[in-house]
Amino acid sequence: MGSRSRLKLWVMTSEYHPRIVGGLGIVATQLTRKLSKTGVDVTVLCTSEDGKNQLDSSRANSKIGIIRIPKDKKYYRKSSRSFKPKPLLRLSTSTTSGPPDLIHVHSMEYAAAARAAASKFSIPLVYTCHSLASKGIHSSHGKNQTQLIRSAAKIVVPSKWQAAEIKDLYPKSSRGKISVIPNGVKSVRRRRKLKGSSHELLYVGRLIPDKGIKSLIRAIALLSRAHKNVHLTIVGKGKSMKSSRALTRRLGISKNIHWISNRKNEEVLAMYSSYGAVIVPSKKESFCLVALEAMASGVPLVSTLSGGLSEFVNAKNAQIIRSVDSKSIAKAITSMWNKPAKTKRRIKNARLTAKRYRWRAIARQYKSLFLNMTKVI
């Protein structure tokens, strides 16, 4: 392919606005939007919204075309939990003007299609690895992820911690391929004053064991003995939801917990400033956008330093949870309440931290990486 003056990307992702489940969808959406503003032409191949089995093509703006692909037997193979390469390539080439300069894939279910497109057009494949497959390398997702790591020219991860995890699991396949580019955060208007009580707490994220949700619920039970007005709103869903609700009932704190199964990212961002603190009790995090969003929103953050969190969270911008157990979480929350002056300083420092992670700056890092890998000038 000869050199050209405008970069053309195909982006493959299971989540894209408005179908956003977690951090992956936020990253894919915000990154492509910012790249398009720098003149990059983007075609997004994304999975259709749940319940919609119709192929759909649209434009987000003059630089972003979106093809939403249903998980039906024409395009998707359930046995391998992946999209079929040939139908996707036919579809993509018939709806775009010319081949891309680079394939950027976010989601494991596009592994075979991404690899086939990179091979057909003799172009680089960049894989942004948001997390390792939760069920291991022998699961369907794990096999797809292994294929991506082996075939990618570059593997982008949001933290040094995630880079180390991949190197440990794939020492040969990942050698010399990994680039660390953190996730970004949207600018949030400075709030004038706290709308909610300091005892109104917020948790946002999947309800899975690694997130520490049950330890947090037990911490609320401990706090409620001396603080009857403590209240926790939990936004999210996951395999631990049923058992977490049952735990709440057993502890007799159902009135202290409010459950919200899901919210759009824009709605979550608007929620932060109504709470006295955001709690992140995670045992493992590749990055944690929720913590960064809380910082940008000017709400106190009470967080562990697990995984990638330690790369931007510290005692100067957050109240630290030293161990993921109920007593440590309750102690951290109480300390945040009891030291308002220190909490205020941490909020100020957290805003300064968040400014270093604006999406515009993150997109520039990605674009620089892409240009260095292509013949675009």
Q: How far apart are CA 298 and CA 81, in angstroms?
A: 40
- The domain defined by 200-355 folds into Rossmann fold (3.40.50)
**Alpha carbon distance 136, 111 (integer Å):** 16
Position 375 scores a pLDDT of: 76
179-188 pLDDT, tens digit per residue, is 999 999 987 7
- Backbone φ and ψ of 232, nearest 5°: -120, 125
Establish whether domains 8-184+358-373 and 200-355 are of one fold: yes
Burial class of residue 182, CB neighbours in 10 A (0-12, 13-18, 19+):
buried
For domain 8-184+358-373, the CATH superfamily is: Glycogen Phosphorylase B; (3.40.50.2000)
Q: Is the pTM of this model over 0.85?
A: yes
Q: Where are the domains of the chain?
A: 8-184+358-373, 200-355
Residue 262 pLDDT exceeds 70 = yes
Helix (H, G, I), strand (E, B) or coil at 36: helix
Tokens of 190: 């400075």
Better-scored residue on pLDDT, 283 or 1? 283
Q: How large a percentage of the chain has pLDDT more than 70?
A: 96
pLDDT band with cut points at 50, 70 and 90 for residue 2: very low
Q: Does the pLDDT value for residue 192 go beyond 70? A: no
CA-to-CA separations, 13 to 9, 134, 272, 283, 296, in angstroms, rounded? 13, 18, 27, 26, 26
CA dist 158 and 317 (Å) reads 20
In 3D, which of 307, 313, 310 has the Cα closest to residue 346? 313
Question: For 325-376, what is each residue's pLDDT tens digit?
Answer: 999 999 999 999 999 999 999 999 999 999 999 999 999 999 999 999 997 6
* 3-class secondary-structure state, position 93: helix
The pLDDT, as a whole number, for residue 51 is 62
Band of residue 43 on the pLDDT scale cut at 50, 70, 90: very high
C-beta neighbour count of 2 within 10 angstroms: 4
Write out pLDDT tens, residues 263-303.
888 899 999 999 999 999 999 999 999 999 999 999 999 99
Q: Which pLDDT tens digit goes with each residue over 213-240?
A: 999 999 999 999 999 999 999 999 999 9
> What pLDDT does 106 receive?
98
The tens digit of pLDDT for each residue in 117-136 reads 999 999 999 999 999 988 88
Q: What is the Cα 369 distance to its own chain's centre?
A: 20
Structure confidence by residue, pLDDT tens digits, 52-70:
778 998 988 889 999 999 9
36, pLDDT greater than 60:
yes
Report the chain's mean pLDDT, rounded to a whole number: 93
Picking from 339, 366, 356, the residue whose alpha carbon sits closest to that of residue 42 is: 366
Contact 128, 152 (CB under 8 A): no
